[in-house]
Amino acid sequence: MSDSELMFREQALLISDDFPELVFCEENGKPLLKGQIILNDSDGKFIDQYEVTIEAVEMYPFRFPYVYETGGRLPINVDWHLFSDGHCCIKTIPEEYLLCKSGINLKWFIESQLIPYFFNQKHREIHGYYLNERPHGGQGVIEFFEELYGSDNLMHIGKSLLGVRSIGTPNRVSLCFCNSGLKYRKCCRPQFETVSQFTAEEINFFLKIITKSPRFN
């Protein structure tokens, strides 16, 4: 069993006090949680439940575990925020990377990520659309950075990402590394502080997505 799986196993064995509907088990030596995600309203009244399997991934706790909806309620396609192998698309890649930067635990993940995800699925089942939906895949990555920069200028975003990858923290009164002509403190400083949390490899991955967009020109 890998270090990631051992950590997942350790946390999963302790989860029953908070989530008694989730039961620890092992299949082919792989640690899993199986059971139900319960949705209650603000008064604790039962709304619904979803059958799930939760399993460790190689980079856990620095990536989300994989979650599979096993009750057959959600169609396996990108429009329902499920990947082709059936695991749930809970956040865009950059959001997940930032949330997992210091490592996560299962209790936090279930409470702050998984339960809201299934509340949003329930909303779509009832009303036909998601609340605060972010696009799936590469478009979701682009939207994340458009919101971060407050701009849909992908060329500017790309230049800024290149600058973050290539330089140290700029002097606050120097010209911004994105070549906007503005002082760094009045341009990309907030974005630098967010993007600098990503590794160079992660930034390169985001740049590939952004530069392949037909809007990058």
For residues 92 and 67, give the distance between their C-alpha atoms in angstroms, rounded to a whole number. 15
Residue-wise burial string across 16-41, b where 16 or more C-beta atoms lie within 10 A, e elsewhere: eeebeebebeeeeeebbbbbbbbbee
Reported confidence tier of residue 216, pLDDT bands at 50, 70, 90: confident
Mean pLDDT for the stretch of residues 28-51 = 95
Q: Give the per-residue pLDDT at 85.
A: 92
What angle is formed at CA 134 by the lines to CA 129 and CA 149, rounded to 5 degrees? 145
Cα-based distances in Å from 166 to 144, 148, 159, 172, 199: 21, 19, 10, 17, 11
82-94 pLDDT tens trace: 999 999 999 999 9
CB 55, CB 32: distance < 8 Å: yes
For residues 1 and 122, give the distance between their C-alpha atoms in angstroms, rounded to a whole number. 35
What sign has the CA pseudo-torsion 65, 71, 76, 78?
A: negative
Mean pLDDT of the chain: 92
Q: In this structure, what token pair is assigned to residue 179?
A: 């070549």
Mean pLDDT for the stretch of residues 110-123 = 96
Q: Count CA atoms closer than 13 A to 79's CA, side-chain side.
A: 5
User: What percent of the chain has pLDDT above 70?
Assistant: 100
Q: Give the per-residue pLDDT at 173.
A: 87
Reported confidence tier of residue 153, pLDDT bands at 50, 70, 90: very high
Whether the link from the prior residue into 61 is cis, omega within 30° of 0, is yes
Q: Give the per-residue pLDDT at 100.
A: 97
Mean pLDDT for the stretch of residues 31-52 = 96
Q: Give the per-residue pLDDT at 198.
A: 94
Q: Which residue has the higher pLDDT, 59 or 166?
A: 59
